[in-house]
Chain A
Amino acid sequence: MRGEAPSSSSLCGRKHPRVLPTCCIRALAGLVSTLILSMLARNRLFVGSRWDKLKCKDMLWTPLRVAKSGGTKKVERSDEPSTLTLDRIRAGQEVKVVQIVAGQSAARQLAQLGIRAGATLGVRRSAPMGGPILVDSGGSMVAIGRGMARKVRVQTLA
């Protein structure tokens, strides 16, 4: 137990049981992979279903966001049926930005990186687990958080 010095032959610790780390790491790996898989499933399989509306929207953060977003502009439904928000676009598609429904500072930050009404973007990646969208904007790659991407209304190009 505590305070008991191991014999000098175990100087490099080879005698200590390796049970803990291996089992810990296995358990951790298992946990992480289940987590990833479950998130993947939530995002991929349930898109468009009732589950999607219930759970995927903001997951843990929903109440907080709603409570605090009073000051910023509300997302309005666009008249055009063909516009989507950027977070809905699958990787590999080209889109044209129609409108950015965000506060001034966010809109400015996006515009500085070339994401403004009229710009053409190539969606390269859409990260799992409510992760960001990776878009090609005029030759530079920009990662946009999912919440921010929801504020960008786009039209898909053929």
Chain B
Amino acid sequence: MKIALVGQPNCGKSTIFNSVAGYRAATGNFPGTTVRLAWSTIRFDGLVAELVDVPGIYSLTSANPAESAAKKFLLNEDISLIINVLDASLLSRSLELTLELRELGVPVIVCLNMMDEAERRGTRISSQQLSVLLGLPVVETIGYRGVGVRELFRQATSQISQPPGPAEFIRWHRDVESSVQQMQDVIESTSHGHRLPSRFLAIKLLENDDDISLEAGPGTNDAAARLREHLEDLRGRPAESVIMSERHDRAMKLFEHSATVTRPRHDPRAALDSLLTHPLWGYVFLAVILVGFFWAVFGLGSLLENAISGRINLFTVYLLADVPKGGLEHALIAGLMDGVQGGAGIVLPYLVPFLLGLAFLEDVGYLPRVAYLMDGMLHRIGLHGTSMLPIILGYGCSVPACMATRILPSKRDRFLASVLATLVPCSARSTVIFALVAFYLGPMWALGIFCFNALVVIISGWLLARVWPEISAGMILEVPRYQWPALSMLARKVWLRLREFVVLSWPLLIAGSLVLGLGTYWNFDHYANLALSPLTMILGLPVVLGTTLVFGVLRKELALIMLAQALGTASVATVLSATQIIVFTIFITFYIPCLATLVAMVKEIGKKMTALAATYTFLLATAMGVAARLILPLILGV
């Protein structure tokens, strides 16, 4: 049995999903956080069901891959119940989707979410009245506080196997209704045998929906074309827009009959927004927020690193005190401790504050404002503001960033955005920058690398946009309200992302460190380094770093840990010059995305494009590394 959570983007579906299923689906305060279906088995009052979190859709007509995945799921799967989540503060608009879902012939229960927000806006909704008019049960909830969620699922269990009955109130105007009826007759006369109700099919055919008309026979499609023409003659505009305004009209009527609007309470967020989207101050604050974010992460990170790293070092020294140097045992213990130290002492101190900060920015709802502010500049390089969302998410991790490109309608935009998102330093690479460059050379250098990276990303975007010229469709992006994130939500979100590091990459890191330790012991790494020596040579790096770069493909943090291991010392600055540290960091930052990202990219943009992107990033990294190697000594004057 399947229960689907369906609603318009950013109405809080995933929040409700998480409050029942545990924190499984990422949430965020921007439209399009969920780009794929999330499943979870739930038990409620002895009932076992699959709860499915469906990506947000405005209507059952899709514009991008995330939406079409949702539509395909709703039309083809055997769903027992739809929980239609509505943002109560945007009631009339949200009801348009409800009216469409109602036609699917599946039991629907309406969940009026964000009731507190509606009240603040001065909208009083009578859910009883709405329930009567719609002919559907209505439950009020405040998702992020968990209010009403229990009641929602109690209602849901009683609604299963009760498809919506006819509701007189939502019938359309007579001329349109008669066209729908005629279409319905045609469909029924051809004994379509379709799972979906004939009324739904009739409406979709009149809307000229490609997915449905592909399945219909030629006779049905001819009739549909005739009726569309008829509607166009009647109303003087395309049939699709006639149906849409009919739905809009009904939704407005429903709103008028079930809600009263009073004066909205004063909202301080409006003042904040007018400051943060100001044509001048908006950019100043953007810079301040980003630089502040950087300083906070570095400050906290280096504080933690000093505290933790020192302790672990002492422990390692204590462990190795009695072990003879140069033996197998020594290599093993040193390798193991290097891995532990790398994870706890170097990666985690920077990763945790970084993820926390990013989660905060996401949940507050600042990201769509960044998209708004940057749209003008991005247009210049041939992208639009919506592409900014995946690119910013790329600072967290490239994998969800690649998946987030699904909110972009055009294939070319998806390719560009995913390449740029992988060029941006993800949290792992930021850790490398923080722990190597900022720690040894000072934070200004690290900031310089971030700026340099941004510049390269911009130039790459400009270049790639010219290699594949196409008109960006232009941005249409809903900018959500600010929302103060609940602390527990933030913690769970950070944990969701951190878990991957702790469970997957840390063990890998320790194992890698052990392998490298043994390799050094048996001199295996010598051959690997030899094979990679052309690369290390043109980059001007010590030959021993060859294997390190290979480990970097597995996971970028590994390169950092392996660096210490390969050099045989944790204090890198004693062995490498400033130039070498920077060249190494730049190369790690830009070259081939890590394995997990490559897999995600293949899924999103295909093998060929991924190979192209990987080659491009590798060449770019080498070029940048060599350039840095040649230019930096001149500036440093060493």
Contacts and interface: CB of A to CB of B under 8 A. Distances in A.
Interface stretch (A46-54, A58-66, A74-82): A58-66
Given A5-B577, A145-B476, A24 B385 contact: no
B578 interface: yes
A17 B636 contact: yes
Given A106-B473, A109-B63, A127-B376, A22 B577 contact: no
B540 A132 contact: no
Interface majority SS (helix, strand, loop, mixed), chain B: helix
Contacts of A113: 58, 93, 476, 478
B194 to A, nearest CB: 24
Given A12-B440, A24-B451, A140-B90, A131 B476 contact: no
Nearest to B440: A13
Nearest to B61: A108
Contact of B577 (A6, A111, A145): A6
Interface string B551-581: 0000000000000000000010111111110
Nearest to B576: A5
B380 A112 contact: no
B234 interface: no
Interface in B220-247: 238, 240-241, 244-245
A139 B477 contact: no
Nearest to B123: A139
Given A3-B540, A14-B442, A147 B474 contact: yes
A111 B248 contact: yes
B455 to A, nearest CB: 8
A148 B238 contact: no
Interface in B348-389: 368, 371-373, 375-377, 379-380, 382, 384-385
A107 B282 CA distance: 29
B548 interface: no
Given A126-B279, A132-B385, A148 B476 contact: yes
A140 B93 contact: yes
A139 B89 contact: yes
B470 A2 contact: no
Contacts of A140: 90, 93, 478-480
Given A28-B451, A116-B245, A129 B440 contact: no
A47 B380 CA distance: 19
Contacts of A60: 380
A145 B385 contact: yes
B469 A64 contact: yes
Contact of B477 (A8, A13, A128, A143): A143
Interface in A1-48: 1-6, 8, 10-14, 16-22, 24-25, 28, 36, 39-40
Contacts of A127: 277, 279, 282, 372-373, 375-376
Interface in A130-145: 130-132, 134, 138-145
Contacts of A146: 375-376, 379, 474
B471 interface: yes
Interface string B433-452: 00000011110110110010
B451 A107 contact: no
A14 B440 CA distance: 8
Interface string B237-280: 01011001100100000000000000000000000011001111
Given A139-B121, A140-B90, A2 B629 contact: yes
Contact of A111 (B92, B244, B376, B571): B244
B157 interface: no
Which of B245, B279, B283 has most chain A Cβ within 10 Å? B279
B635 A36 contact: no
A89 to B, nearest CB: 14
B399 to A, nearest CB: 26
A20 B540 contact: no
A16 B440 CA distance: 10
A142 B629 contact: no
Interface in B607-632: 629, 632
Contact of B475 (A111, A126, A132): A132
B633 interface: yes
B476 A110 contact: yes
A128 B279 contact: yes
B476 A6 contact: no
Nearest to B255: A138
Contacts of A108: 59, 61, 63, 240, 244
Contacts of B629: 2
A143 B451 contact: no
Given A112-B59, A113-B93, A21 B448 contact: yes
Interface string A95-113: 0000000001111111111
A65 B379 CA distance: 12
B241 A143 contact: no
B327 interface: no
Contacts of A40: 279-280
B638 interface: yes
A143 B283 contact: no
Interface string B587-615: 00000000000000000000000000000
A17 to B, nearest CB: 6
B245 A4 contact: no
A126 B576 CA distance: 50
Nearest to B276: A125
Nearest to B57: A112
B637 interface: yes
18 contacts: A2-B580, A3-B540, A8-B574, A17-B637, A22-B444, A36-B283, A60-B380, A61-B382, A113-B93, A113-B476, A126-B279, A130-B380, A131-B377, A131-B379, A142-B478, A145-B379, A145-B476, A146-B376
Given A18-B444, A125-B279, A141-B479, 11 more contacts: A3-B577, A5-B574, A11-B574, A69-B471, A109-B58, A126-B279, A140-B93, A142-B476, A143-B478, A145-B375, A145-B474
Which 5 residue pairs across A and B have the least CB separation, nearest first?
A: A131-B376, A148-B474, A145-B475, A129-B376, A112-B58
Interface of B: 58-59, 61, 63, 89-90, 92-93, 96, 121, 238, 240-241, 244-245, 248, 273-274, 277-280, 282-283, 368, 371-373, 375-377, 379-380, 382, 384-385, 409, 439-442, 444-445, 447-448, 451, 455, 469-481, 540, 542, 571, 573-580, 629, 632-633, 635-638
